[in-house]
Amino acid sequence: MIRTLLRFLENIAPAEPVYAHCDIPCGVYDPHIAQLAAHTVLRMATLIEESKGDNHKIARLIAIKEEHAELAKHEVRILWGDYFKPDHLKQFPNLHELVWKVMQTGSAARQTADKQAAQNLLDAVNTIAEIFWKTKGVETTRVAAPYPTKAELVYPKL
């Protein structure tokens, strides 16, 4: 009887479909964590280069570098899977390739202590950050980060 009543009500006033971009539609997305992680990878690569001979310190720096390279990849995967939509792909047709590049450069940064690999990760993450903010209609600026890397950081102009 209840089912019949519910079907009757649905026929009279059908429910509108609801669309969410994640399991819990919080709407809180930001590429900043990925950027900080990429800067950390670059900083660790620099410190590894400077720490010749101190194996304990090098082991710790490598562990942190690898953790943050994976964090950068993780944060971009969240944006890719939960935030970016087909309309964004139309607007930025190279988005698939850029996300793939973050995954590849993140893996390369984990596999080596090469500063160029770390810089490539940061560059790719910064490009994703610019696209992210453009999808929100927010202009960005690139500035020297206030971190020891002194590398670029993408900030939204709010």
Residue 87: inside a domain: yes
pLDDT averaged over the chain? 90
Eight-state DSSP code of residue 53: T
pLDDT digits (tens, 9 = 90+) for 125-148: 999 999 999 999 999 999 999 999
Stated pTM of the model = 0.83
Sign of the torsion formed by the C-alpha atoms of 132, 142, 28 and 119? positive
Provide the residue range defining the domain that includes 97.
29-156
Cα 76 from Cα 82, distance rounded (Å): 10
Assign residue 38 the CATH number of its domain.
Answer: 1.20.120.400
Residue 44: inside a domain: yes
Q: Please give the tally of structural domains in the chain.
A: 1
Residue 88: inside a domain: yes
With cut-offs at 50, 70 and 90, classify the pLDDT of residue 11: confident
The predicted pLDDT at position 34 comes to: 98
Residue 125: inside a domain: yes
The predicted pLDDT at position 112 comes to: 92
- Cα separations (Å) of 14 from 2, 5, 6, 11? 16, 13, 10, 6
What's 92-149 look like in SS3? CCCHHHHHHHHHHHHHHHHHCCCHHHHHHHHHHHHHHHHHHHHHCCCCEEEEECCCCC
Residue 24: inside a domain: no
Residue 141: inside a domain: yes
Give yes or no for residue 18 having a pLDDT over 80: no
Residues of the chain with pLDDT > 70, as a percent, come to: 89
